[in-house]
Amino acid sequence: MTDPKDRLDALRADIERRNPGQPEFHQAVREVLDTLGPVLTARPQYAEAGLVERLLEPERQIIFRVPWTDDHGRVHVNRGYRVEFNSALGPYKGGLRFHPSVDIGVVKFLGFEQIFKNALTGLGIGGGKGGSDFDPHGKSAAEVMRFCQSFMTELARHIGEHTDIPAGDIGVGGREIGYLFGQYRRITNRWEAGVLTGKGQGWGGSVIRPEATGYGAVLFAAEMLKARGEALDGLSAVVSGSGNVALYTIEKLQQLGANPLTASDSSGYVVDDKGIDLALLKQIKEVERGRVSEYATRRGPSARFVRQGRVWEVPADVAFPSATQNELDVEDARTLIANGVKAVSEGANMPTTPEAVHLFQEAGVAFGPGKAANAGGVAVSALEMAQNASRVAWSRERVEDELAGIMRSIHAVSHETAERYGSPGDYVTGANIAGFERVADAMLAQGVI
């Protein structure tokens, strides 16, 4: 039989050949394949069933035209995507991203990661992802609404509460989910609450869903520190981004006694020596939909804005990349390590380049990969689906307890699996293998499909 390592190398080359021009997808695949050798050696039945080959090919990829009219009557055409990657564990589940950088390779990277992340939650959800190259920046609310309605007019035929359940991601928050849900309801004439998650409270949304990803990333960091006999209380933190994940990362850090010093967007970052004033940041980002630079102008002398700067140059004990893919590279990792960083917890998907991950691990920094660390969002989405199915809304205490329990269990299984496969403390290997085993066992049982 072929040596698992040779087989994985051949698969990697094959993926790159058959999916040209998709560097993010190649990167996400490489990062997983690099860790699967030991599990394929230990369990040859996976290789015999062609499991990895099947996992790498999405079950279905949908690409569609999204025409819409702006406020001046001009017609625009964007491209919409939904990649239904794997449904061995449950209906496809994963967010929608609206950002000019979205293409099929980006959606496939996100959908591929989502398979393992969703498996780690233990909640019976498959992996998928979607979005569009539509740029919501600078668009009026009416334009965003018309875009969402056009997007859903095509997407509606592919999704459903038992088939595929989208949610938010970059550029898609509560407002967009509302417009998408409204159009789905209009087209189908059904109150099918479980078709989208991240809905508003009062019409099927769950408490804690907006907070869940950021809260979860902080809880994961706390678990990693605890495993080393340390705590978050009193530590300083750097956080990138100023969207959904970043805001609630900052909130949970403050609740646990840590001091987040920064926030950023694509124009630069703010650093606040007194610690971020979250009420002011939320007012600017969530209410006014403004830029992070305004924070420095309004906050006073403790804060300054660094145009086009890298947030990672601010010295801190823990780091939370919470904006986008490949935002933390090897130079940033060197700076963070030189400044004594103890832990990095990925709120965003694949924000750390592979070389930077390697550096952190070599330097003994606790590194929580997004698949594990940011799984709190999709976990609470699955709890939203459970509430929708039973038509009962749970209390804040209950959802928060469930989220904390899920993050503890994701940490435990990643930690334990890494040890079992001879890589103690390596959460990348632990999370990849633990997620893979769950999906692989379900695929084995369900035959070659």
Q: Counting contacts by CB under 6 A, is residue 374 touching ligand NDP?
A: yes
C-alpha span between 256 and 37 (Å, rounded): 38
Query: What is the distance between the alpha carbons of residues 413 and 20, in angstroms, rounded to a whole number?
Result: 34
In the complex, least distance from residue 52 CB atom to ligand NDP, rounded to whole angstroms: 24
- The tokens of 97 are what? 């991203």
What is the nearest approach in angstroms of ligand NDP to the Cβ of residue 238? 14
Q: State which of positions 79-138 bind ligand NDP (CB under 6 A).
A: 99
CB count within 10 Å of CB 90 equals 19
Stretch that binds ligand NDP, among 32-40, 57-65, 239-247, 419-427 (CB under 6 A): 239-247
Cβ atoms 117, 371 nearer than 8 A: yes
With 0-12 / 13-18 / 19 or more C-beta atoms within 10 angstroms meaning exposed / middle / buried, residue 276 is: buried
β-pair type (75-86, 60-69): antiparallel
When asked if residue 250 is in the footprint of ligand NDP (CB under 6 A), the reply is no
Strand ordering across the sheet containing 164-167: 60-69, 75-86, 126-132, 92-98, 164-167
Candidates 31, 164, 211, 265: give the one binding ligand NDP (CB under 6 A). Answer: 265
352 near ligand NDP (CB under 6 A): no
**What are residue 94's phi and psi, to 5 degrees?**
165, 160
Q: Is 346 in the site for ligand NDP (CB under 6 A)?
A: no
Q: Is 100 or 424 the residue whose CB approaches ligand NDP more closely? A: 100
Q: Nearer to ligand NDP by C-beta: 137 or 157?
A: 137
CB 320, CB 347: distance < 8 Å: yes
The distance of closest approach from Cβ of residue 430 to ligand NDP in the complex, given in angstroms and rounded to an integer, is 19
Segment lying near ligand NDP (by CB under 6 A), choices 7-15, 32-40, 162-170, 298-306: 162-170
The footprint of ligand NDP on residues 195-214 (CB under 6 A) is: 213
Residue 152 CB, shortest distance to ligand NDP, in Å, is 19
Among 37, 168, 260, 275, binds ligand NDP (CB under 6 A): 168
| 232 alpha-carbon distance from chain centroid | 22
Measured CA to CA, the distance from residue 260 to residue 258 in angstroms comes to 6
SS3 253: helix
Q: For ligand NDP, which stretch binds (CB under 6 A), given 67-75, 300-308, 341-349, 436-444?
A: 341-349
Residue of the chain from 131, 194, 205, 347 that contacts ligand NDP (CB under 6 A): 347
Active-site residue, selected from the candidate residues 129, 199, 252, 285:
129
Residue 403 as a binder of ligand NDP (CB under 6 A): the answer is no
CB of 132 to ligand NDP, least distance (A): 13
Q: How far apart are CA 160 and CA 101, in angstroms?
A: 27
Whichever of 7 and 371 has its CB closer to ligand NDP, that residue is 371
129 catalytic per annotation: yes
| Nearer Cβ to ligand NDP (68/109) | 109
- 37 or 210: whose CB is closer to ligand NDP? 210
Burial class, 313, CB count within 10 angstroms (exposed 0-12 / middle 13-18 / buried 19+)? middle
- The CA distance from 32 to 375, in Å, is 17
Q: How far is CA 412 from CA 116, 120, 214, 288, 427, in A?
A: 15, 10, 19, 40, 10
The alpha carbon torsion through 422, 423, 427, 432 (nearest 10 deg) reads: -50
Sites for ligand NDP among residues 308-327 (CB under 6 A) = 322-324
Question: Nearest distance from residue 42's CB to ligand NDP, in Å?
Answer: 30
For the bound state, the minimum distance from the C-beta of residue 289 to ligand NDP, rounded and expressed in Å, comes to 9
Question: Could you list the residues that contact ligand NDP (CB under 6 A)?
Answer: 99, 168-171, 173, 213, 241-246, 265-266, 322-324, 347-349, 374, 377
Which residues are designated catalytic?
A: 129
